[in-house]
Amino acid sequence: MISLAGIDRSFQVGDQTVDALADVNLDIGAGEYLSIMGPSGSGKSTLLNIVGLLDRPTGGVYKLDNRDVTRLTDEEQARVRREKIGFVFQAFHLVPRLTALENVSVPMMLSGIAISERRQRAAKSLEDYGLGDRMDHRPSQLSGGQRQRVAMARATIMHPPVLLADEPTGNLDRASGREVVGLLERLNASGVTLIVVTHDPELGRRARRQLHMVDGRINADNVLQK
Amino acid sequence: MKLLDMIRMGLGSLIAHRLRSSLSALGIAVGIAAVILLTSIGEGINRFVIAEFSQFGTNIITVHPGKTQTRGASIGIFASDRPLTIDDSVALRRVASVLYSVPAVQGTAEVNAEGRSRRVTVYGVGPDFPDAFSINVASGSFLPHDDPEQARTFVALGSKVRDEIFGSSNPLGDRVEIGGSRYRVIGVMESKGQILGVDLDDTVYIPAGRALELFNRDGLMEINVVYRPGANPDTVVDGIHKTMMTRHGREDFTITPQQEMMDVLSSVLEVLTFAVGALGSISLLVGGVGILTIMTISVTERTSEIGLLRALGAKRGQILSLFLGEAILLSSIGGVLGLSLGVGLAQLLTITVPALPVNTPWLFAVLAETVAVAIGLAAGVVPATRAAGLDPVEALRAE
Ligand SMILES: Nc1ncnc2c1ncn2[C@@H]1O[C@H](COP(=O)(O)OP(=O)(O)OP(=O)(O)O)[C@@H](O)[C@H]1O
Ligand SMILES: [Mg+2]
């Protein structure tokens, strides 16, 4: 479903060129559970951003569902993001002035879904994530774990087939981290392709397929045999 | 994304920063209020002046001696020009569609009676004067239709002259001395008050021929011709022109239709109102800069929110309209606030200073509101474009 071929991503810093990704080749099937690990600066986030169509590679071809999405216009990429990709960030990225319910509703609002349907779907989703009694709370009134669950409800509200998580537990204590991982894995079990970037080896080892990156390259790609 | 959602989102973020939102909206409000107040006063004065000028009716055509060139200033009266005579006035009465023709000579003179004396305006006019200018006689009658060359020495008094000289006693039939000659009072005019600073009540009316003698003039100052309402003014002007040409042999007179004068006056006053309004819009501009500042700050503060929206699938266009909409919302709220403030102040002014004519021109109010929206749009373009142009990855990294 995801196919990266010869992906390069270089940044120009002054007169110096930084190769964040160099010749990355990667194929990910639908429903896979993948973790990406590696030292800081190895290009994990950059790779995730390219898969999420937030960033464009400087070279190579990216196919999503057999469609070359590398050279889509900004508008078309935005549409693909909206329909196919959900993001979970380390820093949650909730809109501080909106309630939990409104935060979860934002993707539906961007798609022009009517407010009554939005409320209904967002409320249902928040209940699924155990936040039925927190719908009208603002992010500042929620714990870290609760915030990340709101963010997950938002990431999944449009039922995207791909979920990208960049250090989803990075800002959480162990207990809430484990809780969030459990929810992510539950989604994967229901068929969602899950890619998790993490520094936590314990979390990384839970994935069936584990990538290891160094200096913008994938230097290990292990698939657990079950 | 729906328009209603956009408004809701915009309002939400404006409310999240109540204080600064209200302050920048206030900037626009002050500007709009200033424009509305200033134009209200301008328009009020405009209407007041026009009403003053038109209260004698607008179907008046004035004939002056001497030729005013269509371009440039009056050349004045040449020695060779024939003066305007009472006979001219009588002749103009016969032009088609003309109802009244009133000769006019004006000056000031001492009026003596009952041992009292008063310096007043003396109008030398014809018997048609009250009908022509809708100034009625309160008691007695106006000057009779005498032979204009030998009109009897009758006088009609303005109400103030009567009050000052005769008090409450009836002056009809009494004699008064005007500039050394004796006149008999045959009428008292109803009070008209001041018109453009001239007190019509502190006036006496005598036959034009007598006034010529009194002021030692050989010609009238003007002849006022009143034509039938509904008649074509151009045709009447042509008729007057033809009559005058036959009588004078050449064009040593000037014909000015009141309507034309009013049109010029009105357009001058309108330009003035507009200029005053433009002056007020300077403060509107300052308000616009306020919105620009707030929106720029807002985009910077919400960089990571913009990154998030992009990650959630917002198009650049949606980000653009979100911030543009917020700027317009801010300025139109200011606009509505300013509208009520301006109209309120104008009303207050009407109540507290009744002498000052105030009239809110609705066109200007609508215009001011449109300008407010346009200012929001203009002030929002730069910050909104910047927001839409942000790189999502960079934006998400911002904190
Ligand atoms: N906008 C940028 N401009 C310049 N260099 C960049 C930019 N973004 C990333 N890089 C560089 O690309 C490399 C990979 O960065 P990336 O953020 O992908 O690392 P990472 O593996 O996610 O690291 P971490 O584990 O610390 O999050 C780094 O060397 C980084 O300095
Ligand atoms: Mg990273």
Residues B277-331: tens digit of each pLDDT: 788 778 888 889 999 999 999 999 999 999 999 999 999 999 999 999 999 999 9
Q: Which ligand is nearest to the CA of A46?
A: 1
- Decide: residue B284, CB within 10 A, 0-12 exposed, 13-18 middle, 19+ buried: buried
Residue B355, chain A, CB below 8 Å: the answer is no
Q: Which of A10, A12, A17, A18 to mutate to test the pocket of ligand 1 (most atoms within 8 A of CB)?
A: A18
Q: Which ligand is nearest to the CA of A43?
A: 1
What's chain B's Rg over C-alpha atoms? 33
B204 closest CA partner among B188, B215, B193: B188
* Closest residue by Cα to residue A42 from A170, A222, A164, A212: A212
Cβ atoms of residues A129 and A137 within 8 Å:
no
For the cut 50, the answer to whether the pLDDT of residue B228 exceeds it is: yes
Whether residues B234 and B277 share a domain: the answer is: no
Q: Provide the token pair at B226.
A: 């009143």
> Which ligand has the shortest distance to the CA of A44?
1
**A95, A110, A154 member nearest B314 (Cβ):** A110
Judgement on whether residues B105 and B237 belong to the same structural domain of the protein: yes
Residue B398: exposed, middle, or buried by beta-carbon count in 10 A (0-12, 13-18, 19+)? middle
User: Are both B94 and B219 inside the same structural domain?
Assistant: yes
Cα(A74)–Cα(A62) distance, integer angstroms = 15
Query: Chain B partners of A75 at a C-beta cutoff of 8 Å?
Result: 315-317
Distance of residue A84 Cα from the nearest chain B Cα, in angstroms? 10
B314 and A49: CB-CB below 8 Å? no
In the predicted model, what is the mean pLDDT of chain B?
Answer: 88
Q: Which domain holds residue B180?
A: 82-251
Contacts of B99 (CB under 8 A, 6+ apart): B131, B132, B226, B227, B228
Domain count, chain B: 2
Report which ligand 1 atom has the smallest distance to the Cα of B394: 1
Structure tokens at A219: 């230097």
| Final residue of a structural domain among B251, B284, B302 | B251
Q: What is the pLDDT of residues A82-114, one digit of tens each?
A: 999 999 999 999 999 999 999 999 999 999 999
Residues 169-208 of B with CB under 8 A from A: none
Condensed to tens digits (0 to 9), the pLDDT of residues B313-323 reads: 999 999 999 99
Query: What H or E segment, with its residue span, contains residue B155?
Result: strand B154-157
B393 touches chain A (CB under 8 A): yes
CA-based nearest residue in chain B for residue A102: B9
In B18-155, which residue ranges form alpha helices assigned H by DSSP? 18-54, 86-92, 129-133
Among the candidates B217, B251, B285, a domain finishes at B251
Q: Which of B312, B316, B320, B399 to mutate to test the interface with A (most CBs of A within 10 A)?
A: B312
Contact B294/A at CB under 8 A: no
Query: What are the structure tokens assigned to A116, written together?
Result: 């009554």
| B116, B203: one domain | yes
Checking if the pLDDT of B17 tops 50, the result is yes
Q: Same domain for B13 and B105?
A: no
Residue B88 within a domain: yes
Q: Residue B250: which pLDDT band, with cuts at 50, 70 and 90?
A: confident
Residue in A44, A51, A81 to test binding to B, most B beta-carbons within 10 Å: A81
Whether B98 and B40 share a structural domain: no
For a pocket test of ligand 1, which of A11, A12, A215, A217 has the largest count of ligand atoms closer than 8 A to its C-beta? A11
CA proximity to B264, closest of B111, B49, B81: B49
Cα distance between residue A120 and residue A106, in whole Å: 13
For residue B271, the model assigns a pLDDT of 87
Examine the domain organization and report whether B198 and B279 are in the same domain: no
Q: What is the pLDDT along chain A (226 residues), one digit of tens a residue?
A: 999 999 999 999 999 999 999 999 999 999 999 999 999 999 999 999 999 999 999 999 999 999 999 989 999 999 999 999 999 999 999 999 999 999 999 999 999 999 999 999 999 999 999 999 999 999 999 999 999 999 999 999 999 999 999 999 999 999 999 999 999 999 999 999 999 999 999 999 999 999 999 999 999 999 987 6
Q: Are residues B231 and B291 in the same domain?
A: no
- Whether B48 and B102 map to the same domain: the answer is no
CA of A19 to the centre of ligand 1 (A): 9
Q: Say yes or no for a CB contact (<8 Å) between B312 and A54.
A: no
Helix (H) / strand (E) containing A149: helix A144-156
Cβ separation A54–B310 shorter than 8 A: yes
Indicate whether B239 and B117 sit together in one domain.
yes
* B289 lies in some domain: yes
pLDDT recorded at residue B76: 55
Residues B222 and B61: beta-carbon distance below 8 Å: no
